[in-house]
Amino acid sequence: MKSEQAKIIKSLLVSATLALLHSPAGAEEAPRVSEGDAGSGNIIPGETCGLRIDKNVYKLMRDGGTKLIAAHRSHSSHRSHRSSRAGCYSRTSRPSKTRTAAPQALYSQDAQMPRKLGERALGQGMRGADVDELVAYLVRFYYLHEEDASQASGESEYNSKVVDAVRHFQRDAGYVADGKFTAAMADRLKQWDAARTTIVLGFRPLAVSAKMSGFDVDTLVELLIAAGCAPDGAKLTKQEGHYVFTDDILTALKVFQATHGLRPTGDLDEATVKKLNGFRK
């Protein structure tokens, strides 16, 4: 009986010795992380991620010997459920590189989105859908020529011509004429009455057939009278408080041009306007 127990003890010692001899010398150690790495949100201090564990299985024979019957290589995937909850990831499964857009990137995209007139203040050098809209209103109400708003990439620029046009509107509307278009001015401009625009003489061509009236026609009549080429007062008519450009005014304009050595075309060209302005009081 004692001999039988001695054999069992001997076989156990042999099994332990063989297990040590068969264990891989280069077995991977569980990676550890420092407290500083914990801030990443992917792993936490003290957790083992991706640990490979080698196990050898032996059978104890009747004669006291041992036999290797299986070699099992285990991965920490057996603990994947626990590890995933702890924030670990395996070596072959890295966190996705996809990142949510940073706040600055979202702001930049928002800054590039089309804006409506009145959503922001506008000034020289700016571009955008709201500047395009501003230019359209300034053209409609005789403050700006469409071609004077230079365009780049299909967008109007808030250039010096637009600044002058905005100043003109501001004077007519009772604002400080600083050339800066504030958001508060948007509704006022959109509801503007063109009859209130102090249209500069020569800003637009005048045609009798269109029955045009406005401050520029008033100025023309006043300067023709001052130059001694007054139209027939009995034939002057008004519309919304302004003189209407009629055949009689056109004839008086041609007389003025012929009298001052200009071609009597009846057009308000640069030379004619300059000569007329010489009679301003």
Q: Tens digits of per-residue pLDDT, 65-80?
A: 656 555 555 544 444 4
Which two structure tokens, joined as six digits, stand for 73? 């290589």
In a shared domain, residues 190 and 157: yes
Boundary residue ending a domain (164, 196, 228): 196
> If pLDDT is split at 50, 70 and 90, which confidence band does 84 have?
very low
By C-alpha distance, which of 142, 144, 158 is closest to 242? 142
- Integer Cα distance of 276 and 281 in angstroms: 11
Kindly state whether residue 106 falls inside one of the protein's structural domains.
no
* Distances 204 to 37, 140, 207, 217, 224 between C-alpha atoms, Å: 72, 12, 10, 10, 18
- Integer Cα distance of 275 and 260 in angstroms: 8
163: pLDDT strictly greater than 80 = yes
> If pLDDT is split at 50, 70 and 90, which confidence band does 40 have?
very low
In a shared domain, residues 124 and 189: yes
User: pLDDT > 70: what percent of the chain?
Assistant: 59
Boundary residue ending a domain (168, 196, 224): 196
Kindly state whether residue 93 falls inside one of the protein's structural domains.
no
In a shared domain, residues 146 and 70: no
Q: What is the pTM of this model?
A: 0.60
- Integer Cα distance of 194 and 201 in angstroms: 15
Q: Which phi and psi angles does 215 have, rounded to 5°?
A: -65, -30
In a shared domain, residues 257 and 185: no
Cβ-Cβ contacts under 8 Å for 12 (sequence gap 6 or more): 60
Q: For residue range 242-265, list pLDDT tens digits in order.
A: 999 999 999 999 999 999 999 999
Kindly state whether residue 249 falls inside one of the protein's structural domains.
yes
Query: What CATH number is associated with residue 166?
Result: 1.10.101.10
Domain encompassing residue 129: 116-196
What are the counts of helices (DSSP H) followed by strands (DSSP E) for the chain? Answer: 9, 6
Region 202-206: what's the mean pLDDT? 97
Q: For residue range 219-243, list pLDDT tens digits in order.
A: 999 999 999 999 999 999 999 999 9
Kindly state whether residue 257 falls inside one of the protein's structural domains.
yes
Number of domains in the chain: 3
